Amino acid sequence: MSKNFTVHLKYWRQAGPTAKGYFEERTLDTVNEHMSFLEMLDVLNEELQIEGKEPVEFDYDCREGICGSCNLVINGQAHGPKQGTACCQVHMRNYKHGDEITIEPPRAAAFPVIKDLVVDRSAFDRIIEAGGYVSVKTGSAQEANARPIEKVKSDLAFDYAACIGCGACVAACPNASASLFTGAKISHLANLPQGEVERNRRVVAMVDRMAEEGFGDCSNYGECEAVCPAEISISAIAEMRKDYVKAVFS
């Protein structure tokens, strides 16, 4: 039998990128243990709207841990308390009656706040656009099994490709680095034969673009790996660095 309980919320409000932000507080008495975290925010917004107040803006799409839109920082931790889980898949049974929950957007200069808990992550798109494709004409696609690929490499490429671009790595990093995201996007192509065509050009273009967007550099804290909902290894960063050095000095 499900039960309702009370939580005390402290959530970020900000009208726009240049507006001064502040925390607003509210107590919710109708939180159900089976609600997802975002469903709890839906309840918050319903109460605010009934009172004629403006709802809290937060980002989401699939609510299935796939799209990466739900990039909230909960009690100082990107995506909340459950390892390898996007916050849309965190359920309120992970909290107890009387808990205080602080909700913030990811804090990074490269992720300007659009409104409240919504940030602009288009910097990620520009990093991908800088080199995440093959520009030469390769003809029609080969049959999937026509070119054998070592299982170890194909598995590694698949693991890196699992990145959902949520920005948790940036939010958790003391330097606001996007190295795990960029490394994953570079390395998943570098481990496949299709990615060899423009491997050197791609890694230089994407790493340089990452720096241009205002992200910090990696200092090997490992916080990015700890909060990544796709559980991507920081080995992606090592591979990116190795490829970058080879490309620059070869």
CATH number at residue 143: 1.10.1060.10
Asked if residue 187 is part of any domain, the answer here is: yes
Asked if residue 111 is part of any domain, the answer here is: no
Phi, psi angles (nearest 5°) of residue 246: -60, -45
Out of 36, 70, 104, pick the residue that ends a domain.
104
Q: Which domain holds residue 36?
A: 4-104
Say if residue 186 is in the same domain as residue 98. Answer: no
Q: Is the pLDDT of residue 228 over 80?
A: yes
Say if residue 94 is in the same domain as residue 141. Answer: no
Say if residue 145 is in the same domain as residue 97. Answer: no
Q: What is the pLDDT of residues 143-159, one digit of tens each?
A: 767 778 889 999 999 99
Asked if residue 175 is part of any domain, the answer here is: yes
| Percent of the chain with pLDDT strictly greater than 90 | 86
Return the minimum-mean-pLDDT range out of 28-32, 50-54, 80-84, 129-133: 129-133
Asked if residue 179 is part of any domain, the answer here is: yes
Q: Reduced to 3 states, what is the DSSP secondary structure of residue 178?
A: coil
pLDDT at 75: 97
Say if residue 128 is in the same domain as residue 194. Answer: yes
Say if residue 70 is in the same domain as residue 140. Answer: no
Say if residue 37 is in the same domain as residue 100. Answer: yes
pLDDT at 197: 82
> Are the C-beta atoms of 92 and 33 separated by less than 8 Å?
yes
Name the residue type at position 82. K
Number of domains the chain contains = 2
Out of 104, 131, 148, pick the residue that ends a domain.
104
pLDDT at 1: 59
Confidence category of residue 194, pLDDT binned at 50, 70, 90: confident
Where helices occur in the chain by DSSP H, the ranges are 37-50, 122-131, 151-161, 168-172, 179-190, 199-212, 223-227, 235-249
Asked if residue 109 is part of any domain, the answer here is: no
Q: How far apart are CA 101 and CA 105, in angstroms?
A: 13
Asked if residue 116 is part of any domain, the answer here is: no
Q: What is the mean pLDDT of residues 23-31?
A: 96
pLDDT at 112: 96
CATH number at residue 18: 3.10.20.30
Confidence category of residue 51, pLDDT binned at 50, 70, 90: very high
pLDDT at 138: 65
pLDDT at 143: 75
Say if residue 129 is in the same domain as residue 87. Answer: no
Confidence category of residue 36, pLDDT binned at 50, 70, 90: very high
pLDDT at 109: 94
Cα–Cα distances in angstroms (integers) from residue 93 to residues 19, 135, 155, 211, in the given order: 35, 48, 34, 40
What would the DSSP string read from start to end of 205-232? HHHHHHHHTT-B---S--HHHHH-TT--
Say if residue 162 is in the same domain as residue 244. Answer: yes
Confidence category of residue 68, pLDDT binned at 50, 70, 90: very high
Mean pLDDT for the chain overall:
93
Confidence category of residue 132, pLDDT binned at 50, 70, 90: low
Say if residue 129 is in the same domain as residue 73. Answer: no
Asked if residue 24 is part of any domain, the answer here is: yes
Q: How far apart are CA 163 and CA 165, in angstroms?
A: 6
Asked if residue 110 is part of any domain, the answer here is: no
Say if residue 137 is in the same domain as residue 79. Answer: no
Say if residue 66 is in the same domain as residue 182. Answer: no
